[in-house]
A and B are shown apart, each in its own frame.
Chain A
Amino acid sequence: MAAFTAILRKDLRLELRSGQSTIALVALALLVLVVLVFALDPAVARGPETAAGALWVALVFSGMLGATRVLTAESENGCIRGLLLSPADRAGLYAAKLAAAFIFMMVAEAAGVVMMVLFFNLEFDAAMMRVAPVLALGALGFASLATLLAAITSRARASDLMLPLLAVPMYVPALIAGVRASAAALSGAPFSAARDWIGILIAFDVLFVTAGYLLFEHVIAEE
């Protein structure tokens, strides 16, 4: 637990100092939403379904960047070796990296929600509160998957290219479930309409958090 706290605190301190990840994530989310707003037909682009879709596209792109940054920060001066040499257990290291990626994604999502409300003429009301847990589940799933894949691809050539090629297809089930559950929440439909989709999101999170917890030790070890 001490190692988890130390690594997470260090990652947040580095982020607060440079702001690299958060600024890039927010800028990317803004860019995606702007492109979609202008690309879509105004007659259909103002509904909750489209807004939810646009938000989740922004989530995927910003999540990709966030998860990669969390591990690439360790490549400076060989710091990843410093972590591997330390008594910190690999599961704690994964948990800390996952938590950092999740926090960065949630910050980007908060900004994304504000922009979505403005661009898609929505209201800040109870529907937004219902979207929040869906987005949190989506961010957790994506952060767990992308952190594991970033560790796998970190020593590969063209790792920046490999990560999206591997992560996006694997995230498709959660992406579909997230868009449907968010659209239901935004349109004010009862919880039962989104229950199955939320179930898929929870199953995805459990699967990849567990897989990351168990496999991180093997994929991060050198040689």
Chain B
Amino acid sequence: MAAPVVETRGLGKSYGLHPVLRELDFRLLPGRGAAVIGGNGAGKSTLLAILAGLSSPSEGSALIFGADSRRLGPRYRRRIGMLAHRSYLYPNLTARENLEFYAALYGVADAPAAADAWLGRVGLEASADERVGAFSRGMEQRLAAARAMIAEPALLLLDEPFSSLDTDGQSLMAKLLVAALARGATVVATAHAVPEIERAELDLYEIVRGRMLPYKEKEPEEVRRGRLRTLLGR
């Protein structure tokens, strides 16, 4: 059996006295995708930051490719791509310059060719030489996705990848995720609700009071009320 790409053991994170994540035990094998559902402040972004090595757990540990997330060296970071709330793009550089910069940083063999190819894949060829500062939020999100994927990482961490995207953009993002899974990448994505993420065909989990559980579909409110009325004999 292949070694897990992501493995958390009793993972917990607190900010001061406020616990955000508790006792997370979670494994993800190569080529698998997980969607983590949760409301605002549930701890989704914190979880991704820990998996990316940007934040340290307060308890337990997270292993990425078998290495402790607190000590991910260049060899491991090279294999991780992250799409966060902020785009990590330079507003005074053009879309092409941004992608070329990140491609060079990740040691991509032909950075200009890779940048052009990814501009095409996210539908931004026509805006390749425009500064990112002039982009709409949706265009910036597309470009940020290209930035995260340009080195074809083995692990993709995506924080609400469908946010700010129009219908075409959401279809495009779903295609990119499916393509990443098809080439064997492991994906962890977050979303506020299932409809946002279900088109990406990922296993669903939810964070409930800091704990990560397999997602269970909630009963619609009217069904729940009807059941309650039956129980009460009314």
Contacts and interface: CB of A to CB of B under 8 A. Distances in A.
Interface stretch (A2-10, A21-29, A48-56, A152-160): A2-10
A6 B56 contact: no
B234 interface: no
A6 B105 contact: yes
A122 interface: no
Contacts of B85: 78
Given A2-B107, A223-B55, A87 B93 contact: no
Given A85-B52, A85-B77, A78 B86 contact: yes
B74 interface: yes
Nearest to A222: B54
A76 interface: yes
A18 B131 CA distance: 12
The winner among B54, B88, B104 for most chain A CB atoms within 10 A is B88
A89 B74 contact: yes
Contacts of A77: 86-91
A88 B74 contact: yes
A190 interface: no
Contacts of A223: 54-56
B88 A222 contact: no
Interface string B87-107: 111111100010001101111
B80 A85 contact: yes
Given A85-B52, A85-B82, A222-B54, A79 B97 contact: no
Contacts of A17: 92
B90 A78 contact: no
A113 B38 CA distance: 60
B183 interface: no
Interface in A68-110: 73, 76-79, 81-89
Size class of the B contact interface (CB-based, 8 Å): 20 to 34
A34 interface: no
B211 interface: no
Contacts of A85: 52-54, 77, 80, 82, 88
Contacts of B106: 86-87
Contacts of A76: 90-91
B78 interface: yes
B89 A79 contact: yes
Contacts of B105: 2-3, 6-7, 83, 86-88
A78 B74 contact: no
A65 B15 CA distance: 34
A13 interface: yes
B102 A82 contact: yes
Contacts of B93: 10, 13-14
B202 to A, nearest CB: 22
Interface string A180-223: 00000000000000000000000000000000000000000011
8 smallest CB-CB distances across A and B, nearest first, come from A82-B88, A78-B86, A87-B74, A6-B104, A87-B78, A86-B105, A87-B77, A223-B55
